[in-house]
């Protein structure tokens, strides 16, 4: 198979670092390492861990493009919105950006034609744009469904009937038009097929989030007390009460530990820590850029993943692939059934705790804290690493590309 020239369309990419953008960037790095020419068109973000180029992404900075967004008056904005609506057919966020992104894509395609398009979430709009460009250029489109749309997200905020109709309409249109639709988990695919994509058929592939191979040492020295870290946001979709109560009770029994949280947190978390007397044991750290963050995590004994209390875990959290890449023991406070459980259950060095059961969380954490400094490490060939290994993921994509020739 010859190397491909690929256009990747997304609204999440470095230097703006948050979960979807990091996953997208790691994929581009892996494809670049195989010799593929991946050109990225993305959109700036306001909420992110970092807004400057981390060391990890410097090799792909020159192939990342942000369409110019000139400041205009309200009348010009209205005219652009109407133009975008006429062009793309739906009143969705991103249609003004899309007009500029499409011009930039056409320029890149004219300079050297693309072989295929990858459209990736979090927004649905890159799928719409990818569909239009793939049809015009007569090249394949691979659409990635990274998360449930807001209308079908378990425990999510309710959206209006019109918004729900719009998301469903666009999802069905793109799903049927794409040559291949990829999902990071079987459970997420099934959730879509039972809801917004019900009754439709299209080619589907399950490709987990991609990990990375550290280019730095994973050696570290244990401290006097067990240190646990959580990398990522703790916002309103996460119920912290059971975890905090468990840590409180453990501290009351005189056990020592440190739990460090890196990310944007709920406003009331600091107040709760003060009320529970946990300010000295649960430390809220400033969010770090990706390169610095993954190196920092090496210094901790356990990495903690905290998942929303869905009846079934349908998401593959992006931090799971990063944790696996660092070969550290993982504590997952997550649904007992679902994606996370399927990777961790029964594997040495991985600890699954029911996120609806305070007693189980407390018992599990206390056992690990009392056991310290003894720590069980994951097997080098555990199920999770085998799934997210960047070489395996790159192989999967290259097989897809070859099948579309």
pLDDT digits (tens, 9 = 90+) for 193-210: 999 999 999 999 999 999
pLDDT at 357: 97
Residue 150, helix vs strand vs coil: helix
Residue 399, helix vs strand vs coil: helix
pLDDT at 59: 96
Q: Of the candidates 132, 137, 167, 173, which has an alpha carbon nearest to the alpha carbon of residue 152?
A: 167
The CA distances from residue 13 to 65, 174, 225, 230, 231, in Å, are: 10, 21, 37, 22, 18
Q: What is the dihedral of CA 120, 126, 127, 132, to 10 degrees?
A: -140
The CATH label, of 3.60.15.10, 3.40.50.2000, 3.40.50.300, 3.40.50.2300, for the domain at 5-211+389-403 is 3.40.50.2000
Low-confidence ranges of the chain (pLDDT < 70): 71
| Average pLDDT score, the chain | 94
Alpha-carbon span 195 to 201, nearest angstrom: 13
Phi-psi region of 89 (alpha: psi -120 to 50; beta: other; left: phi over 0): left
pLDDT at 335: 96
Q: With DSSP H G I counted as helix, E B as strand and the rest as coil, what are the percentages for the chain, rounded to 5?
A: 45, 15, 40
* CATH fold group of domain 226-386: Rossmann fold (3.40.50)
Residue 120, helix vs strand vs coil: strand
pLDDT at 296: 96
Q: What is the dihedral of CA 392, 394, 397, 403, to 10 degrees?
A: -80
pLDDT at 236: 72
> What does R_g of the chain's alpha carbons equal in angstroms?
22
Q: What is the dihedral of CA 387, 214, 32, 178, to 10 degrees?
A: 30
Q: Do 226-386 and 5-211+389-403 have the same topology in CATH?
A: yes
Alpha-carbon span 148 to 127, nearest angstrom: 14
How is the chain split into domains, by residue range?
Answer: 5-211+389-403, 226-386
pTM summary value: 0.95
**First-to-final CA distance of the chain:** 9
Alpha-carbon span 203 to 182, nearest angstrom: 9
């Amino acid at each position: 198979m010859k190397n491909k020239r690929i256009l990747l369309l997304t609204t999440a990419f470095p230097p703006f670092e948050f979960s979807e953008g990091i996953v997208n960037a790691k994929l581009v790095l892996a494809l670049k390492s195989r010799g593929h020419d991946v050109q990225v068109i993305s959109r700036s973000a306001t909420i992110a861990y970092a807004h400057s180029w981390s060391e990890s992404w410097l090799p792909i900075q020159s192939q990342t493009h942000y369409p110019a967004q000139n400041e205009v008056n309200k009348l010009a904005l209205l005219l652009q919105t109407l133009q975008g609506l006429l062009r793309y057919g739906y009143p969705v966020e991103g249609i003004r950006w899309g007009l500029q992104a499409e011009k930039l894509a056409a320029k890149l395609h004219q300079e050297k034609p693309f072989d295929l398009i990858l459209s990736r979430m979090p927004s649905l709009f890159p799928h719409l744009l990818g569909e239009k460009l793939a049809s015009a250029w007569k090249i394949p489109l691979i659409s990635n469904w990274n998360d449930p749309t807001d209308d079908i997200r378990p425990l999510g905020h309710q959206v209006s009937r019109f918004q729900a109709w719009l998301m469903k309409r666009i999802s069905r249109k793109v799903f049927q038009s794409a040559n291949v639709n990829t999902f990071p988990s079987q459970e997420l695919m099934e959730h879509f097929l039972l809801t917004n994509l019900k009754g439709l058929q299209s080619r589907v592939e399950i490709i987990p989030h991609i990990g990375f191979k550290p280019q730095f040492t994973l050696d570290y020295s244990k401290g006097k007390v067990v240190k646990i870290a959580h990398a990522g946001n703790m916002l309103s979709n996460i119920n912290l009460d059971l975890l905090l109560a468990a840590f409180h009770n453990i501290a009351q029994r005189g056990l020592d530990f440190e739990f460090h949280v890196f990310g944007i947190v709920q406003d009331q978390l600091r107040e709760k820590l003060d009320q529970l007397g946990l300010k000295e044991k649960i430390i809220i750290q400033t969010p770090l850029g990706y390169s610095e963050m993954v190196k920092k995590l090496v210094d901790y004994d356990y990495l903690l993943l905290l998942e929303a209390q869905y009846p079934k875990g349908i998401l593959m959290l992006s931090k799971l692939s990063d944790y696996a890449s660092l070969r550290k023991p993982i504590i997952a406070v997550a649904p007992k059934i679902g994606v996370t459980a399927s990777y961790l259950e029964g594997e040495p060095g991985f600890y699954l705790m029911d996120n609806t059961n305070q007693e189980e969380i407390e018992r599990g954490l206390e056992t690990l804290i009392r056991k310290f400094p003894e720590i069980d490490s994951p097997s080098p060939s555990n199920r999770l690493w085998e799934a997210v290994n960047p070489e395996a993921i790159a192989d999967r994509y290259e097989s897809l590309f070859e099948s579309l020739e």
